[in-house]
Every structure is written in C-alpha cells, then in structure tokens.
Structure 1
Amino acid sequence: MRKTAALLAILIGMSGTISAQSDSLQANRYITRATTLGVGYTNILDTYLSPQEYKGIEGRVARETMRMTKLFNGNVSLQNFFQANLSYTHNSPDNNNTFAGLVNWNYGLHYQFHINDHLKLLAGGLGDFNGGFVYNLQNSNNPASAKAYANIAASGMIIYRFKIRNYQLVARYQANLPVAGVLFSPNYGQSYYEIFTLGNSDGVVKFTTLKNQPSVRQLFSLDFPVGCSKLRLNYLWDIQQSKVNQLKTHTYSHIFMVGFVRDLYLVKNKKGNPLPANVRAY
C-alpha cells in the first residue's frame, strides 16, 4: 500500500509539472481585446485646400487585439490596432467648414522585457497604414483632398500593473514613430482630374522619413475592473504632419475614449480550428 501511495504521489506531481509546462507553452492562446469610443478636439491644416487651420470636434472608434507569440521563447507579443475617426471643423473667421475622416491600421510585434512582477517594457516595430479625406464645403474647383500613406514605425510601450486595495489596475503608455514610408500627394496647384484622367501622375507618390513626415501617435490607457467587467480609459494624442510637393498638412487630435476589455483563451476543436472562450485575466 505504501509503495502504491508513493507511486500515485509521484504521478500526480509529474502530471502537475507537465500541465504547468504545457500551459506556459500555450501562452500565445491568451488574447486581450478592447473596443473604445471617444470624442475630442482636432486641428486640421491642408494647404492644398486652404492656407487656414480648421478646428473642431472629432469622434473616434478603436479596436485593439494583443496576444503573445511563440517567437524568441514566447517573449514577443503581437498587436493589431484599428481605428477610424470623423471630424467636423471650422476656420477662424467661421465662414467655412470641413469634414475629414481617416482609417488607420497598425500591425506589428514587440519584444517584452520583464523588469519585475509589476513592470514591463516593450520595444518593436509596426506596419502603419492610413487612408482618408478632407472635404471643404465651399471650395469649387478642388473641394476634397485624399489621404493615403503607409509607414514602418518604431514602437515602444510601458506597462505597469498595480493594486489599489483589492482592485488590480493596468496602466500603459505607447508611442509609435513612423520612420520611413510612402505618401500620396498631388503637386502644388495640380487637380485630381489631371492625375487620374489625364494621367499626369509624376511625383504624386513620395518617399517619406521623419524629415518630411514628422508624426507620432501616443496612447495612455488605464484598465480597471467594474463589477464582472473590465473598463478601459484612453487618452490619444495623435500628431500627423507632412510637407511634400510644396504642400503642408497636419492633423492634431486630443481624444478621450472609454470602452470594455475582454480576455479570451483560444481553444482548438477536433479539426484544429481555434474556438474563443472567455477567461479572467486578473
């Protein structure tokens, strides 16, 4: 009996060790998804349409997914971040208005440096893809300006976990800095009719660096539990600028956002297809 009991204890211990190792190897199945909505202030300049700045209100929606990968012994995370905004602005004399919109998608990897149980530093790179428009309500010849550009961006994060009483909170700061890319822009005084109908498209696609596109996106977020859910508060400071083909553009946005976070665990069925299941992250 004693030998049987000892053998059972060893088997149980081995089973627990194997289970723990298996769970650590499956960390890439844990996914954090967040959807946030918000409004804020924006300042827009596009000298193709007007030499004046336009200021007003902007609404924005964002959806983010983050998960660990198996790269570099499981120390690399994948971020998929999508956002879209729409703004309504007016000039200083208040005699003209514009509508503007932009869709932005970031997809990239970060290596995670675990400083301690509370602090992580992340560094990596992202693909940054953008498309949108600015429409001036009173311009007759060229009422609209198209926005299309893509970049390779350097990206960094600081993630800090802490508690207030029994509440687990997660604070994060992220900055994305476009290093190199391409941008579509008409030449000074050139119409879109010339570009797309007459085929005069020389020089409308430009290579960009920090010199002619000094831009940065900064995100501050705080996650905290509310009942059985987890709430996220975001502050987004978005600076997009360019100076090409004798044209200047900028969009400065300060957006406050709120939304919910879901933590998922991907479970594979018999056919190998991933099935999401809700889990508690904290």
Structure 2
Amino acid sequence: MVWGICVFAQTALQAQEDSLKASRYLMRATLYGVGYSNVYDTYLSPQEYKGMDFRVTRETMRMTTLFDGNVSAQNFFQANLSYTHNRADNNNTFAGLVNWNYGLHYQFRITENFKLLAGGLADFNGGFVYNLRNTNNPASAKAYINLDASGMAIWHVKVKNVPLTLRYQLNVPVAGVLFSPNYGQSYYEIFTLGNSDGVVRFTSLHNQPSFRQMLSVDFPVGSSKVRMSYVCDIQQSDVNEIQTHIYSHVFMVGFVKDLYRIKNKKELLCRLPCGHIKERQK
C-alpha cells in the first residue's frame, strides 16, 4: 500500500512538474524582410503605386495555465516602410504602418506532432501614406483597431533527420473602428476647425475586407534556430467614399529562441507534497 501511495505521489509530482514546465515555455522570434508593396489611396491619388516593402517583426508566444494549459498567448509586433512609384514613374509615395497584435489561441493537439490553434486577437494599427507631389493634401493618416479571428496550424516533421517546424497563420478582422476623413475633407478642417463628424467609422468584412497570413519554417543551424517566412498582408477599406489598399508580399528571415521562464525554487518546492520536498533536499 505504501508503494502504491509513493507511485501515485510520484506520478502526480511528474504531472505537476510537466504542467509547470509547459506554462513557462516561451518562444521569441525576430525577423527582417524585403518584398513587394502596392499602395492605393483615392484621398491622395486615383493611381496605384508599386514598389519595395521593408519590414521587421517581433513575436513572442508562451503557454498559459488557462484550460489545463491548452491556451497560448501571442504577442506580435511588426513595422514596415515602403517606397513606391506610379505607372508613369513621375511620382513616388512613402507608406509606413505599425501593427501590434495580442491574443489567445486554444490548442487542439491532433497528433503528437501536429496541432491546430483557434482564437482571437486585438489588432492595433497606425501609419501614413505620403505623396511627394501633392501640395494641398500630401499625406493620409492610417489608424484603426480590430478584433480578429485567428487560426494557426503547427507541424513538427523531420527531413533527413533534420527537425523542422512548419507553421501557417491566418488573421481576419471581423469588427473594429477606423479613422478616415470624408472625401475632399482636409485634416485642417478636422483638427483645427473641429469638423469631425463621421471620421470614425465602424468596420467589418463589408467595408474592410482584409487579412494577414504567414507561412514559416524553423530549422536548426548549428546551435541556433533560423526561421524563414512569407508574409501576405492585405489591408483595404472603402469608407467615406475613399478607397484604400496596401498589398504586401514579403519574404523574411531571422532567429528563434526557445526559453523557459524561471521562478523561485522555494515557490516550486512549496507547491510539491511535503514528503517529496524532503526527498529532494536529501
């Protein structure tokens, strides 16, 4: 009977330690990339502008203790700057956007090496488009907040004994608010004269059909882990008689770190059965 109690206690101890370890897992990735950008904003010009996109991303994912440790938290930041030109090549624009997402995903473990994630994200965006030839309205501000539906697939495989991690993620904004001047309205009218009626609008799939998707592969290089990624960022809106879009296709590369958060050892011992604390101290 004593042996059975010890086995049960040891099993419970191992499960508790595994749960604590899982909840302390932390992944960090920093990537840099370059690609193609297509910018269109009828507030500034009826023409499309095409050119280069430069982008940096910073991502953190960690497991939480929610729902028996099956929920992960994602913190994702990206910033991009594009330089584009029109078809006649007689005018150029600069466009920049900063995007920050934070959300939770529930993880469905389909097999030992494959899992699907589903959840939601808070999506914050701010930026600008600047037309180099316009004099009256040379710039257009970008500011919008969304609640996104998010899905992800993660697959761990080996190719010739090389461990790879394949991941695909799709984020789609389903509801939010967006700042936009009315067609022909200047920012002077909005911020100086106070004519701000209708410049903050509710958005959903009907007037902001956008999405972000990311496909990546992680693989070891020496003692480090490298990530190569493709980002397809489609942002568009049709609000206040102004149509806009920024289409970006970017290839990125960077490094991934797998970490475990360390807590106080005394706190860990206090959470274990007293008998096991004595055994660990011997």
Give your verdict on TM over 0.5: yes
Residue 36 of structure 1 corresponds to 31
Structure 2: distance between partners of 1:270 and 1:16: 20
Indicate the SS of the match to 1:267.
Answer: coil
CA deviation profile, 1:85-114 (whole Å, cap 9, x unmatched): 001000000000001100000100111110
**Are 1:75 and 2:70 matched, yes or no?**
yes
Match of 2:276 in 1: none
The number of equivalent residue pairs is 267
Q: For residue 15 of structure 1, report the CA deviation from its aligned partner.
A: 4.4
Instruction: Quote the offset at 1:26 in angstroms.
Output: 3.7
Partner of 1:276: none
CA RMSD across the alignment = 1.9
What are the within-5 Å matches in structure 2 for residues 206-221 of structure 1?
Answer: 206-221=201-216
Distance 1:175 1:265 in 2: 27
Structure 1 unmatched ranges of 5 or more: 1-6, 273-282
3-state SS of 1:134 partner: strand
Separation in 1 of the partners of 2:261 and 2:149? 29
CA offset at residue 27 of structure 1? 1.3
In the alignment, the residues of structure 1 paired with residue 239 and residue 3 of structure 2 have an alpha-carbon distance, to the nearest angstrom, of 73
Structure 1 residue aligned with 2:178: 183
Find the partner of 2:41 among 39, 46, 55. 46
Aligned to 1:107: 102
Task: Give yes or no for the alignment of 1:160 onto 2:158.
Answer: no
> Is contact 2:21–2:260 with CA below 8 Å preserved after alignment?
no
**1:230 aligns with one of 208, 215, 225:** 225
For the 8 Å contact 2:74–2:102, the answer to whether it is kept is yes
Q: CA deviation at 1:18?
A: 1.0
Report the CA distance between 1:13 and its aligned residue.
8.4
SS in structure 1 at match of 2:38: strand
Q: Name 1:248's counterpart in structure 2.
A: 243
Q: Deviations over 1:154-179 (max 9, x none)?
A: 00011111001221110011000000
Match of 2:127 in 1: 132
Q: TM-score, normalised by structure 2?
A: 0.90
**What secondary structure is seen at the aligned counterpart in 1 of 2:18?**
helix
What is the distance in 2 between the residues matched to 1:110 and 1:80? 11
Cα distance in 2 for partners of 1:170, 1:199 equals 52
Matched-pair identity in %: 71
| 2:86 is equivalent to residue 91 of structure 1 | yes
**Aligned-pair distance for 1:11?**
5.6
Partner in structure 1 of residue 141 of structure 2: 146
Which deviations, in whole Å up to 9, do the C-alpha atoms of 1:193-248 show, x marking residues without a partner?
Answer: 00000000000000001000000001001000111000000100010000000000
Residue pair 2:101, 2:121 contacting (<8 A) in 1 also: yes
Matching residue of 1:264: 259
Partner of 1:56 in structure 2?
51
Shift of 1:125: 0.5
Q: Distance in 1 between matches of 2:34 and 2:155?
A: 26
For the residues of structure 2 that align with 1:124 and 1:8, how far apart are their CA atoms?
Answer: 44
**1:92–1:27 Cα change, 3 Å:** same
